[in-house]
Amino acid sequence: MLSKPARFRDIEAERIQQLTMKKTKAGLRVLLACCVGALVLRAYGEEANAKLWYNKPAINWEKEALPIGNGRLGGMIFGGIEREQIQFNESSLWIGDEKDTGAYQAFGDVFIEFGGQTNAATTNYRRELDISRAVHIVAYNQGGVSFRREYFASHPANVMVFRFTADKPGAYSGSVMLTDMHKGKIVADGNRLTSSGSVAGYKYEDKGPNYSIALNYEAQALVLNEGGSVKAADGRVTFDGVNNLTILISAGTDYVNDRTRGWRGEHPHAQVTAQLKAAAGTTCRKLLASHVVDYQRLYKRVTLKLGDSRSELPTDLRLMKYSEDARELELEALVFQYGRYLMISSSRGALPANLQGLWNNSIRPPWRSDYHTDVNVQMNYWMADQANLGECFTPYAVWLNSIRGVRKAETKAAFKARGWTMHGENGVFGGSTWEWVESGSAWCMQNLWDHYAFTGNKEYLRTLAYPMMKEVCEFWQDRLKALPDGTLVAPNGFSPEHGPREDGVSHDQQLIWDVFNNTVAAADVLGVDREFRNTIAAQRDKLLAPKIGKWGQLQEWMVDRDDPKDDHRHLSHLVAVHPGSQITSQRTPQLAEAARVSLNARGDVSTGWSTAWKINLWARLHDGDRAYKLMGNLLRLVGDTRMNYKNGGGLYANLFDAHPPFQIDGNFGYTAGVCEMLLQSHAGEIHLLPALPKAWTTGRVTGLRARGNLEVDIQWQDGKLVQATLHPRQDGSFQVRYGDKVVELKLRAGRAVVFK
Ligand code: FUC
């Protein structure tokens, strides 16, 4: 199975060599390949490095349990021997309403007790998460029996599957329990456990408001036996003398992302029952096969090879060794792919990934496990298209679209303006709390435009992105204020989460520039709204521009008051460098230099997400070694789960990002950062290896996406480009850069181009 793609690759590579070679002015050799070349040099081969593994069960949910998810349902698996716990979630189980963010809610747990099995008598214990297949495995020996468990969350079947097998018959006896975080009704009937209820009366804070919306929910677990027997007793399902045991679970709520329906649709009972019935009607083998095919269709689009290490250590010790300055390149690649695994597992076909993706074991989770719009949700989605997971972006755009009606109403009341904006905390019913962060909606629009830039999907742009972008422009058209010389500033703004409220804050100015600039481009692509387009283009050019202050820094405020000792985690005034594109090393070198001064002053030690952002920023400033240093800071084994806003960033043993506590933006931001180090496309050109650190002497990446709707494979050796292949998905003109060499190319859809 695995050697076939490699052989295929060689044949295609040979074919490419026979194709025409052109020498360009700049001296880069370019091979123009025919259509078959679209498939060349894709390394679909084995990723030996794609496993997290441990030699003992998890005790701590946040630091040790391992996540599975199908984009809607999620499970955190402990791997206990006498007693297994799978804490589970469904992404729409929320409290809150149109006035209040509320919070994302834990659903419940499945507990499985194995009679007669004890920790003490176990040998060869191993639990692992294979992120190349999205399968979690627990294996151990006990009393002469080899036990093996497989767990996966199937997107096509829309259920989670837990399968328990053994090499001797009748080895499984015990019971299955379901718990419910909202104290609903639990019924055991035959081989089925059901929990159901409503979240009415639950609040995020003791003294918080009563919410006007209360979702109904239901979860079901179906216990299937091969051999032995299964029956309901005392609120559990017990099993006795079973050879192989399968537990299928699904859950849902009556949430719909539609304000006009009051956010409530059908009770989930029928759907959950049907999902389990369909899954139970097939075989585990088929469920697993369709799951792996579905998952790998996304996962295998990108491969990354940075080294050849074959660490024999369990992942926690491996990370510890790395933290002690024995840097291991393949661990860096594993954490990169883990970000992609977490994205595929938490953002498909339902709600977008929240502060914890979709894994949450609390009804009062940190920061509500919500959608924070002063950096966090935007950061979640930087990597989606870069790392070739465009489908995973869609839930985010759909969520924004669903809440914009509520946002418009509150924005109108608060600002007497058209369009819409948000506070820092946001939920699934449009409710938004905490401080106003007026440029938050413009920042979300940047994600929306980028998704178009990466995919070239005009239908998406016309129907989903552009109408929202236009509305956010309208908000700023009504809100901007002219200084005496005609310069436009955002009034009374805020540099998250930092400094006074005042006019002309750089963060606001840069994001308004961004949304105006992108909306001009979008109107051009769609050929619509000529007059509106010209007005915002003119307003964009009158915006107060980025300023360089007295110590050479990029000013965070209109007033030159930046403190060089300020190491605040937010890097709000650098948003024009990344993820924005107003400041680039090529086009605005002085401003880029000022940004470098500011970024230096902020220091290298911070929270998880802040460290991840710094990786991206240093990559944009083309300092690969500094980005690499920050990567090292993020790949630091952290044990503390207490909230730390200063310097606790790193990874837990399960490779979840530690803010601390667990916050997933650091995982996604890290993956985005690695993409930015290898490939950039924000500055009107495709830049190969823009920030390659010295440590990555030789490596290969395939399948990264660039703006303009193309995929790029890059191979390098001794720190130098060996070969890059562009796979355009649509026709277009591109400028391609490597170092200071630049070539101009007209590319045709489906015709790969190889650079030497
Ligand atoms: C912002 C950040 C915090 C935290 C929270 C969820 O408020 O400033 O560090 O990440 O979001």
Hey, what are 674's tokens? 């690695």
Any atom of ligand 1 within 6 Å of the Cβ of 497: yes
Any atom of ligand 1 within 6 Å of the Cβ of 516: no
Any atom of ligand 1 within 6 Å of the Cβ of 571: no
Hey, what are 83's tokens? 């007693």
Nearest atom (ligand 1) to Cα of 366? 6
Mean pLDDT over residues 546-555, rounded? Answer: 98
Mean pLDDT over residues 527-541, rounded? Answer: 98
| In the chain, % of residues over pLDDT 90 | 91
**pLDDT tens per residue across span 119-141:** 778 999 999 999 999 999 999 99
Distance CA 633, CA 670 (A): 11
How much helix, strand and coil, in percent to the nearest 5, is found in the chain?
A: 35, 30, 40
Give residue 496 CA to ligand 1 midpoint distance, Å: 9
Distance CA 551, CA 559 (A): 13
Measured over all CA atoms, what is the biggest interatomic distance in the chain, rounded to whole angstroms? 85
Distance CA 661, CA 651 (A): 10
Of 116, 114, 108, nearest in space to 86 by CA: 108
Distance CA 214, CA 219 (A): 17
Give residue 494 CA to ligand 1 midpoint distance, Å: 15
Q: H helices within 347-439, ranges in order?
A: 376-386, 390-415
**Residue 639 pLDDT greater than 70, yes or no:** yes
Of 325, 317, 166, 334, nearest in space to 242 by CA: 166
Residue 443 corresponds to which amino acid? W
Nearest atom (ligand 1) to Cα of 645? 9
- H/E stretch holding 595 reads helix 589-602
pTM: 0.95
What confidence score (pLDDT) does residue 119 get? 74
What confidence score (pLDDT) does residue 152 get? 98
By the 8 A CB rule, do 228 and 242 touch?
yes
The DSSP-derived string for 186-208 is EEEETTEEEEEEE-TT--SSTT-
Of 128, 119, 172, nearest in space to 147 by CA: 172
Give residue 610 CA to ligand 1 midpoint distance, Å: 9
Band (pLDDT 50/70/90 cuts) for residue 46 is very low
Map tokens 């790949």 to a residue: 635
What confidence score (pLDDT) does residue 47 get? 55
Half-sphere exposure of 590 (CA within 13 A, CB side): 6
Domains located in the chain, CATH noted: 6-45+697-755 (2.60.40), 51-305 (2.70.98.50), 371-545 (1.50.10.10)
Map tokens 């050109």 to a residue: 685
Map tokens 């990108």 to a residue: 302
**pLDDT tens per residue across span 592-634:** 999 999 999 999 999 999 999 999 999 999 999 999 999 999 9
Distance CA 426, CA 403 (A): 9
- H/E stretch holding 449 reads helix 440-455
Cα distances from 28 to residues 23, 720, 726, 755, in angstroms, run: 6, 13, 14, 7
By the 8 A CB rule, do 39 and 45 touch?
no
Alpha carbon 365 to its chain centroid, in Å, reads: 19
Mean pLDDT over residues 61-73, rounded? Answer: 98
**Residue 25 pLDDT greater than 50, yes or no:** no
